[in-house]
Structure 1
Amino acid sequence: MKKLILGLFILTLTFTNVLNAQTSKQDQHSHNYVVLTKKIPQLQPIILTAEALAKEDGKSFGDFQAIICGKTVQDIKDNEMMKDFIEKAEKAHVKIVVCGFSLKKFKVNKKDIPIELEVVDNGILHDFQLQKKGYLSIEL
C-alpha cells in the first residue's frame, strides 16, 4: 500500500512539473499522456493520476493510455482482477494497451485476455510513436 501511495505521489509530481514547464503551449491544444508499466497493480495510481489530470486540464484533457509490458502480461488473464481495473479505467477515460511482443514472449494468447484491452504489436514502439506525436510520457 505504501508503494502505491508513493508511486501515485511521484507520478502526480512528475506530471505536474512537466505541465507547469509548458503552460503557454498547453493552453492551445489537448494534453495527451502515456504511461508504460511492467506491473499491473500500478494501474491503480495511474488511473488516479489520470482522474486528477482530467480535473486539472478540464476541456484540454485529451488521450490517456497505460501500456502494459513484460512478464506481468501473464496476469492479465485473471479476469476477476482485471475487471475492477478495466471499469475504473473506462470511467477515467484511460485506454489500457497491452504489448503484443510481451504476449508472444510469455506465451499468452490474445483470446485469453479481456476484450476491452487493446493489443499493439510492440508496446515500447507504441510509446515512442505517441511521444513523437507530443504525448507526455513516463515509465514505471
Structure 2
Amino acid sequence: MNYSITYITVLLFLILGTPQLKAQNQTGEQQNYVVLSKNIKQLKPILMTADSLAEEDGETYGEFQVVFCGKTVQDIKNNADFKLLLKQAELQNVTVTVCGLSLNAFEVDQKQLPEHLEVVENGILYGFQLKKKGFISLTI
C-alpha cells in the first residue's frame, strides 16, 4: 500500500508538472537592451556586444537600442566610419538614435545626419522610458 501511494504521487507530479515546465520554457521573456552613450566611437564595441548577446540569448533576444547624447552629435555629420557602422547596425536590427536636445544645443541640423539614424526629442528621457518598459540599460 505504501508503494502505491508513492507511485501515484510520482505519477501525478509527472503528469501535472511537465506541461507547466514546458510552458515556462516556451514563454520566456524577451531580453531588451538600451545603451546611452556620449561617444560615437563606442558604436563598434556596442555592436559587437549586441551580436554576442543575440547569440547568448537565442530566442529570448529582443530589441537592442543605442542612444547618443551630448557633444558627440557634432561628430556624426559627414562621418564615413559612422555611416558604415550604421549600416552594420541596421543589418543587426540595432536601432541607433540621437538626442534632439543635443542636436539643438550643439547646432547640428537634422538634415545633415545620415539615413537610418532616428532622432528622439530627449535622449535621457527616452532611455528612462525604455528602462520602465523593462529594457536592461547601460550608460557609457
TM-score range, shorter-chain basis?
0.7 to 0.9
**Contact preservation (8 Å) 1:79, 1:113:** no
Q: 1:111 & 1:33 partners in 2: Cα distance?
A: 28
State the alpha-carbon separation in 2 of the partners of residues 42 and 64 from structure 1. Answer: 15
Distance 2:139 2:93 in 1: 19
Equivalent position of 1:14 in the other structure? none
Q: What runs of 5+ residues in structure 1 fail to find an aligned partner?
A: 1-23
Partner SS state of residue 76, structure 2: helix
CA distance in 1, matches of 2:40, 2:29: 30
SS in 2 for 1:96: strand
- 1:42 and 2:48 aligned: no
Aligned to 1:69: 69
| Amino acid of the structure 1 residue aligned with 2:39 | K
Aligned to 2:112: 112
Percent of aligned pairs sharing the same letter: 51
Instruction: Give the secondary-structure state (helix, strand or coil) at the position aligned to 1:35.
Output: strand
User: What is the DSSP-based 3-state SS (H/G/I as helix, E as strand, rest coil) of the residue aligned with 1:29?
Assistant: coil
State the distance in 1 between where 2:36 and 2:79 align: 21
The letter for the 1-side match of 2:66 is: A
| C-alpha distance in 1 between matches for 2:93 and 2:137 | 17
Normalised by the length of structure 1, the TM-score is 0.79
Give the corresponding residue for 1:92.
92
Q: Partner letter of residue 98 of structure 2? A: V
Q: Give runs of ≥4 in structure 1 deviating > 2 Å.
A: none
The count of residues paired between Structure 1 and Structure 2 equals 116
Partners of 1:95 and 1:50 in 2: CA distance: 11
| SS of residue paired to 1:87 | helix
CA contact under 8 A between 1:100 and 1:120: conserved in structure 2? yes
Structure-1 separation of matches of 2:81 and 2:108: 16
State how far apart, in whole Å, the 2-side matches of 1:89 and 1:60 are: 19
Question: Residues of 1 paired with 2:48 and 2:81: CA distance?
Answer: 17
Query: 1 CA distance for matches of 2:123 and 2:90?
Result: 20
The offset of 1:89, in angstroms, is 0.8
RMSD: 1.5
Give me the whole-angstrom Cα distance separating, in 2, the residues matched to 1:43 and 1:35. 10
Which aligned pairs between 1:1-140 and structure 2 lie closer than 5 A? Answer: 28-140=28-140
What are structure 2's unaligned runs of at least 5 residues?
Answer: 1-23
**Greater gyration radius:** 2
